[in-house]
Structure 1
Amino acid sequence: MRRANAHGRDHRHAGRQGHRKRGKSRDRVGYDAGKKVKGIKRNAVVDTIGLLLGIEVIPASVQDRDGAAALITKTRRLFPFVRHVFADGGYSGDRLATDLAAQKVTLEIVKRTDKEGGFKLIRRRWVVERTFSWLRRNRRLMAHYEALAIVAEGFAKLAMIAVMLKRLTEPSSKPAT
């Protein structure tokens, strides 16, 4: 049987206010008013066959093009041969194009035309979406469970390592195109 102290609390508990962890325990999340989603966005740089070169987890309130310049700069430190970048319409803008031109990287925006209704396969755009579907096969990446963005980025890299190892160990399977 536990004995309570004079204040009615167990003597083994500190009795702090708020009962929360101290310090920075979570990265901030944002709200994307366009998609009406609270949380995070994952920006990724992939090669032409969809293998991950770089990934960044940012709050949903940050626009895609604002997070892209820093991600491409970080990716080019590891992969300096990246010279041409394909992106969708969310990455269009003079500031991003200027930042990438300073790094001698050309930016090609792949847009869908509003004239055509229904589903239309757009050149190069599906490569990144396929990579995200490979990553979402992992339980920890289906939703944003991590408190820190760096941990979520690490799990995405581990998931891509698993995809690449599976390709190496199963030579009979065709690569998905």
Structure 2
Amino acid sequence: MVTSADVGGRTAAKVLLARVREAHHRLALVWADGGYTGSLVEHCLAALGLVLGIVKRSDDMRGFVVLPKRWIVERPFAHLMRTRRLVRDVERRTTSAEAMVYWSMTMVMSRRLAGSRPARA
């Protein structure tokens, strides 16, 4: 889901999680960044029946450390940045930006389905 820049992450998360809950009834646990703490955790449990697990960085960690489960979120961002058009925010409409995300992830999925290519001679 792509939103305009004036929509906050927690506000967008409520809408997104409601859509995901409607489409995937068996979903029970969602992992989120430390920025999504607070009322969103209670909202997910009360309104959607979802447990929102917050992956927090501990205070004693120094430097760059990959948090458990965090790579699951970061990997799709890396795939999206491989699509040149998504490196910059050039889209005027959120619908076209969202279409570019679908296109990029469709390329990733089709490559995975096709399997590895034979080495060139």
1:150 pairs with 2:95: yes
Question: Equivalent residue for 1:99?
Answer: 43
TM-score w.r.t. structure 1 length?
0.61
In structure 2, the gaps of 5 or more residues are none
2:72 aligned with 1:72: no
Could you tell me which amino acid in structure 2 is paired with residue 157 of structure 1? Y
Q: Secondary structure at the match of 2:26?
A: coil
Which structure carries more relative contact order (alpha carbon 8 Å, separation 6+)? 2
Distance 1:109 1:135 in 2: 24
Q: What's the TM-score once normalised by structure 2's chain length?
A: 0.86
Q: Which runs of 5+ in 1 are unaligned?
A: 1-55
Tell me by how many angstroms 1:63 deviates: 2.6
Aligned counterpart, 1:87:
32
Secondary structure, counterpart of 1:59 in structure 2 = coil
> Percent identity at matched positions?
37
Q: Does the CA-based 8 Å contact 1:110-1:124 persist in structure 2?
A: yes
Counterpart Cα distance in 1 of 2:25 and 2:116: 29
The number of residues matched between the two structures is: 117
Offset of residue 62 of structure 1: 3.0
Asked if 2 retains the 8 angstrom alpha-carbon contact of 1:65 and 1:93, the reply is no
Greater percentage in helix: 2
SS in 2 for 1:58: coil
